[in-house]
Amino acid sequence: MQARKKYVLLGLCACCWLVLFYWGGGVQLRLLRLLTRQRGEVVRPWPNWTDRAFLPRYAHLDELQTDPGLAESPRQRRQAWSAIYKDSRCRMETCFDFSRCRRRGREGFRVYIYPSEKNDRVSESYRKILMSIGESRYYTSDPREACLFVLGIDTLDRDQLSGQFVPNVDERIRGYPLWNDGRNHLIFNLYSGTWPNYTEDLGFNIGQAILAKASLNAEHFRPGFDVSIPLFSKDHPQKGGERGWLVRNTIPPRRKYLLMFKGKRYLTGIGSDTRNALHHIHNGKDIVSLTTCRHGKDWEKHKDARCDHDNLEYERFDYQELLHNSTFCLVPRGRRLGSFRFLESLQAACIPVLLSNGWELPFSDVIQWNQAVIEGDERLLLQVPSTVRAVGNERVLALRQRTQMLWEAYFSSVDKIVLTTLEIIKDRVFSHISRNKYMWNSLPGGLLVLPEYSTHLAHFPFYYLGLGVSPGQEFTAVIHAVTPLVSQSQPIMKLLQVVSKSKYCSQIIILWNSEKPPPNRSKWPPMPVPLTVTDGRRKTTSRFLPHVAIETEAVLSLDEDTVLLTSEVNFAFLVWLELP
């Protein structure tokens, strides 16, 4: 009996298993295939959202299909770029004639400016550039001496819609006997391309010329050949320029606002994606991100639902006040990769936070920008607030100090921008005697360090602290003399006695710049240190030259009528030892 119950139970279990397999497996698979086939045949409509009116609509499908900027394929863009940069593989070794520059050693680096034609229009910015070159020590009026050539034609603004655009440049430069397909030529440019794509097309073939350009794309930048320069306004000073705004270091270094931006919002076209999204990070407290669409002639035609609110919020804050009181300044791309606010942020000691993918930063060959800016990503805008909040106070202070060093060394005037460009090219030509990156990125900057004197860091006292080197404990006194020696009571005699009594004085050198010959050694008073009289060549600047007779690192430069005490000389030298 029990055996039969076991067989019946096993049979029922088998039947249940078959039923489950049939209905749970085969039928479900058939139903799944049937449903899948039906879904493939039916076009599913776009969901009818109940809150569709509140969702931002950036563009209609028709607009996306008809927008000429977005209709370009990657292949078309590459073809356009290859047409612009026909010599994209140019390097100094392949597209530059070094023999023109090395005829007289480093003194052979001379720059010639083509004369402007009678009816040429020259913008204020380009006039400043040409003036900076013309007043520099590298200028020559003889093209036979030139190593580098600069066009007299204004090439700064190559936007065909601009009033500064100069037509027919290609035809004109091809007629220059010295053009030689642009070899050894330097072309300056601030604006290229036009609406809607703003490509880097200059409207003429630059050939093998070196391009000193603002808003340079890293993809088109020719490393070691081109020079990326900053975008500056026509009001940028010719010489000197204002100093940075960091008067004193405050601890902690944070300011009232953590992050700020105030500028235009582009409703359509290139650059609009980034600026249209900036309102998402605005909180009106420590992060102020303001945009306005009230610019251009047809802004009202393209205004969206957010324009009126943005314009009202925009007027609540003053740009200069934000600039002075913000720790970080957002520097997003505009129509082009660069913008004026980059230099404004550097001057204000407001640490730039860059949102400009692909931008080759100014003078990137020599400047270490990671010590002065924060580089963000346009696609990761919402991560910027958390990124800047995570920057510690020590790094904030270091970044802010570096902005001031770079501003005052290279960017505060057109003169410094142009001379930095020329010095970079000169270092490439004479690479065996050139500045290293430490010189470019440390005070007092590369423009004030002459490689002709030395390329060894330990030979420059202002690098001692950074290198951990202690300066020598003696100095050389250099006295500039122009008055003939006729009496033992002349001021220079007393000065010699005072200086020679200093326990730190190693030697005294007199630069004789008088029209009469120097007196014999017996005419000078006896002193405990060596005295050397050398010809100053009747130049006031001869006191600043590295004379061979100088053996110490410290030099005390004096006029012959200087009145000092020995204790004052000692005190001055001790102060110098602390900050050489």
Measured between alpha carbons, how far is 479 from 558 in angstroms, rounded to an integer? 5
Q: Which of 373, 402, 431 delimits the end of a domain?
A: 402
Residue 500 near residue 566 (C-beta atoms within 8 A): no
* Residue at which a domain ends, from 402, 418, 433: 402
Choose the final residue of a domain: 207, 228, 249. Answer: 228
209 and 105 in one domain?
A: yes
Lowest-confidence segment of 4-8, 228-232, 526-530, 560-564 by average pLDDT = 4-8
Per-residue pLDDT, averaged over 390-416, amounts to 95
Which of 559, 493, 563 shows the shortest CA–CA distance to 526?
493
Q: Does residue 171 share a domain with residue 302?
A: no
Q: Does residue 338 have a pLDDT over 80?
A: yes
Kindly state whether residues 302 and 394 are assigned to the same domain: yes
Q: In terms of domains, do 198 and 271 share one? A: no
CA distance 437 to 446: 9
CATH of residue 556: 3.90.550.10
Helix (H, G, I), strand (E, B) or coil at 508: strand
Residue 120 pLDDT? 84
Residue 461 belongs to some domain of the structure = no
**Higher per-residue confidence, 88 vs 209:** 209
Instruction: Tell me which of 466 and 404 has the higher pLDDT.
Output: 404
User: Which CATH number covers residue 322?
Assistant: 3.40.50.2000
**Residue 419 forms part of a structural domain:** no
How does pLDDT run across 139-166, given as a tens digit for each residue? Answer: 999 999 999 999 999 999 998 888 888 9
Q: Has residue 29 been placed in a domain?
A: no
153 and 281 co-located in one domain: no
DSSP 253: -
Q: Helix, strand, or coil here: 477?
A: strand
The answer to whether residues 207 and 299 belong to one domain is no
Task: Tell me: do 356 and 489 sit in the same domain.
Answer: no
20 assigned to some structural domain: no
Mean pLDDT of the 482-507 span:
90
Indicate whether 509 belongs to any domain.
yes
Q: pLDDT tens across 75-110, in order?
A: 555 555 555 555 668 999 999 999 998 776 667 899
At residue 543 the predicted structure's pLDDT band, cuts being 50, 70 and 90, is confident
Whether the predicted pLDDT of 45 surpasses 60 = no
Say if residues 288 and 261 touch (Cβ distance below 8 Å): yes
Residue 476: its H or E element? strand 475-481
Average pLDDT over residues 37-62: 48
pLDDT at 466 over 90: no
Residue type at 527 in one-letter notation: M
- Would you give the end-to-end CA distance of the chain in angstroms? 113
Respond yes or no on whether the N-terminal peptide bond of residue 252 is cis (omega within 30° of 0).
yes
The pLDDT confidence band at residue 299, using thresholds 50, 70 and 90, is: low
Say how many domains are in the chain. 3
Identify whether residues 366 and 272 lie together within a single domain: yes
205: which residues sit within 8 A by CB, 6+ positions away? 86, 170, 182
Burial class (CB in 10 A: 0-12, 13-18, 19+), 315: exposed
Does residue 373 belong to any structural domain of this protein? yes
- 287-292: strand order across its sheet: 287-292, 257-264, 326-332, 351-355, 374-375
Confirm if 387 and 460 have CB atoms less than 8 A apart: no
Q: What does the alpha-carbon distance between residue 357 and residue 379 come to, in Å, rounded to a whole number?
A: 9
Residue 59 lies in a domain: no
- Quick one: which H or E segment has residue 351? strand 351-355
What mean pLDDT, rounded, does the chain reach? 84
Could you write out the DSSP letters of every residue in 528-552? SS-EEEEE-TT-GGGGGS--TT--S
Q: Do 288 and 208 share a structural domain?
A: no
Is the pLDDT confidence value at 437 over 50? yes
The residue segments making up the domain with residue 112 are: 81-228
Q: Are residues 221 and 276 in the same domain?
A: no
Residue 277 shares a structural domain with residue 359: yes
3-class SS at 97? coil
Return the DSSP state at 277.
T
Residues 271-291: pLDDT tens digits?
Answer: 777 888 888 898 988 999 888
pLDDT of residue 32: 45
Of 33, 97, 328, 364, whose CA–CA distance to 224 is shortest? Answer: 364
Residue 92 belongs to a domain: yes
Identify whether residues 319 and 279 lie together within a single domain: yes
Q: Which two tokens stand for residue 459?
A: 């030979």
pLDDT of the residue at 403: 96
Specify the residue for token string 């009996």.
1
Average pLDDT estimate for 112-118: 90
* Residue 21: predicted pLDDT: 57
Asked if 410 and 445 count as a contact pair (C-beta separation under 8 A), the reply is yes
